[in-house]
Amino acid sequence: MKQSKTYLKAFKFRIYPKGDQVTHLANNFGCCRYVFNKVLELRQKAFKEEGKSLSYFDTTKILPVLKRQEETKWLGKAMSQPLQMAAKNVDSAFKNFFSKKAKYPKFKCKNSRQCIKIQQGFRVEEDLLYIPKLKTGIKINLSREIKGKILYLHISKSTTGKYYASFTCEVPREQYDKTGNAVGVDVGIKESCILSSGKKYANIHALKKLENKVKYEQRRLSIKQKGSNSSRKQRLKIARLHERIRQLRETCLHNISSDIIKNNDIIITEDLSVKNLMQNHCIAKALSDASLGKLLTQLEYKSEWYGRTFAKVDRFFPSSKTCSACGAIKQDLKLSDRNWTCTTCHHQHDRDVNAAINILNEGLKKLSGLVTKPDIKQKWDEASSLEESENPDA
């Protein structure tokens, strides 16, 4: 399949609305939420009473009617594009449900994520963002250059009260310089990921300290009176801590994935089912903190962005139990065995590095004939020598 010359990329910036600007955005958030719930109600009612499935075009016809009705005349103060996109979101939610990508659509409440989408009529001049039906520009912190053709704009408000503008752009595809390197990636809990070269990326230890702080603040919240000002302030404090944890985790994952993509032409991972792994209650919390699914997703889409080859090996391939030196399988290997010795060739292994080497070799077999292999023997020798240096008694 021919690769597109462009890809979609979002550029997200903090914005600082004031006075009437805050009121205007709050009005649009509320109107979009109302339209979403109204369209969802109509679609449910039509199917229940008439067995009829309404399309997106059927539901958009009610918007002019709602604006003319006395009880919903206030919808006319909102921007028209976000209202149409709210109806479109209901249609997308049902499509995702029927394709088993998401759960059945739910009604939105005031505390749910607040966001509007604008496709036309907005512009950025210096450090100001102008949107329809608002005469004054909203201050925006342009921390980096917006590249490519801007397709649409999302304006959102976080649970901590911060506002963001996210520009989705069509960006020309970049090509990193060829490195001649291929790498197998084994994801884990103690380390975020381990490479076949022996390199390991540690998890952020600062998260544990923040998580303990969240527990402490939640205990303080439990003794406060519900609905009081102190209770609201405490909830905001906890939300800010959660936001900080999320930002640290995302920054760490992006740094890891970018480093792997930049330094390797071929990236091979396991086709893990994180959802199934989460069913193990003993490691579910650690897996959630490690965000393995996000890391694998980043490696996949960044490979496409920068012209790298990405492949997955079967999730049932015994990468940890197979000796990367002779191919023998150690059936009795336990999860607690971090280092082990092959009974056939007596080669000593670091469990995770050995798994990454096996993932690399299995992936290259899969790609055989589709890509030009780098000097795999050299990569194998480098990884093996690194393992031996870590295990001098081998």
Selecting among 91, 186, 362, 387, the annotated active-site residue is: 186
Angle at 96 between CA 298 and CA 152, to 5 degrees: 65
Question: 91, 265, 270, 362: which one is catalytic?
Answer: 270
Is 186 one of the catalytic residues?
A: yes
> What is the rounded distance in angstroms from the CA atom of residue 9 to the CA atom of residue 170?
7
Tell me the two tokens of residue 24.
């205007």
Strand pairing class (309-313; 339-341): unpaired
Place of tokens 């209650």: 281
Active site residue 91: no
What's the rounded Cα separation, in Å, for the pair 134 and 132?
Answer: 5
Give the active site residue among 91, 265, 350, 352.
352
Distance separating the N- and C-terminal Cα atoms of the chain: 46
Of 153, 160, 148, 119, nearest to 138 (Cα)? Answer: 153
Question: Residue 326 in contact with residue 345, Cβ under 8 Å?
Answer: yes
Cα–Cα nearest to 259, from 207, 310, 319, 199? 199
- 50 is annotated as an active-site residue: no
Beta-ladder partners of 157: 114, 163
The angle, 0 to 180 degrees and rounded to 10, between the axes of the packed helices 80-98 and 20-50 is 40
Residues 185 and 193: their CA atoms lie apart, in Å, by 7
Which residues does the annotation mark as catalytic? 186, 270, 352
